[in-house]
Amino acid sequence: MSPSVETTPPPSDRVRLRRKPGRGHHDRATIDAILDAAPLCHVGVVVDGQPYVTPTFHWREGDHLYIHGASKNRTLSVADGTEVCVTVSILDGLVLARSAMHHSANFRSVMILGRAHRIEDPDTKRARLKGFIESLYPGRWDALRPMTDTELKATAVLSLALDEASAKVRDGGPMDDEADLSWPVWSGVIPLRTALGAAVADAHTPAGTPPPALGMAVAPIPGSD
């Protein structure tokens, strides 16, 4: 994707791109594709004026992003009912230019602002947790030892509407100053990607059981091994 003309306007001034607005996107197709392409997000909350940024897995169903954790988890407890920021970032490449200043990175990122809410209804919570497992490992939920009510109670699921979100994307080569183009140094892009290693079964897995197929969220990008 090249830096593109902004077509969908930002849903709020808070998620308007201030720096390099040409890299900004507010259309849900772009936002959803990034959210669905990586399992890891960073959740920002505020406690006594101090920001805390915690890594955790996320998943998306329709117009909401979900995160989960132990019911006693502090980040989730603080986040419930308060304004949070959830950011998903995928680093796609290192961009090397002829001047230090024009070095850059290719990336895709999404920032979501909003009030997170804990899901209270047990059936809804169970359905969302199933959606999470299925997003990572399609077909796995029904093969697992069923979730108990105690486990369900011990797990918190928070939802965050995608109403106020922005995406930022950079790709392509270095953008050197015209006068620097003849400077004799290697310049270009070194791509980075997430690669899957060989699955390692534990000692109790029945012999001959194949590892699960992975869902979109963790599939390597095309061309990776």
List the interface residues with a second copy, window 43-102 (CB under 8 A).
Answer: 43-46, 49-55, 57, 69-70, 72-74, 83-87, 89, 91, 93-94, 96, 98-101
CA distance readout (Å), 107 to 3, 81, 104, 112, 167: 12, 31, 10, 17, 10
Tell me if 155 contacts a second copy by CB under 8 A: yes
For a second copy, which residue of 14, 21, 124, 216 counts as binding (CB under 8 A)?
14
For a second copy, which residue of 9, 62, 197, 222 counts as binding (CB under 8 A)?
197
DSSP SS3 for 127: helix
The residue among 7 and 225 lying less far from a second copy, judged by its C-beta, is 225
CB of 48 to a second copy, least distance (A): 9
Cβ atoms within 10 Å, residue 89? 16
Tell me if 37 contacts a second copy by CB under 8 A: no
CB of 64 to a second copy, least distance (A): 18
Asked whether 190 and 96 are in contact (CB, 8 A), the reply is yes
Q: Which of 2, 173, 177 is nearest to 101 (CA)?
A: 177
Q: Which of 36, 22, 8, 39 is nearest to 171 (CA)?
A: 22
Size of the site for a second copy (CB under 8 A): 95
Residue 15 to residue 33: CA distance in whole angstroms? 18
Residue 112 to residue 104: CA distance in whole angstroms? 23
The residue among 33 and 147 lying less far from a second copy, judged by its C-beta, is 147
Residue 220 to residue 189: CA distance in whole angstroms? 19
CB of 4 to a second copy, least distance (A): 20
For a second copy, which residue of 5, 7, 29, 143 counts as binding (CB under 8 A)?
143
Tell me if 189 contacts a second copy by CB under 8 A: yes
CA–centroid distance for 119 within its chain:
21
CB of 218 to a second copy, least distance (A): 6
The residue among 7 and 202 lying less far from a second copy, judged by its C-beta, is 202
For a second copy, which residue of 32, 107, 135, 157 counts as binding (CB under 8 A)?
107
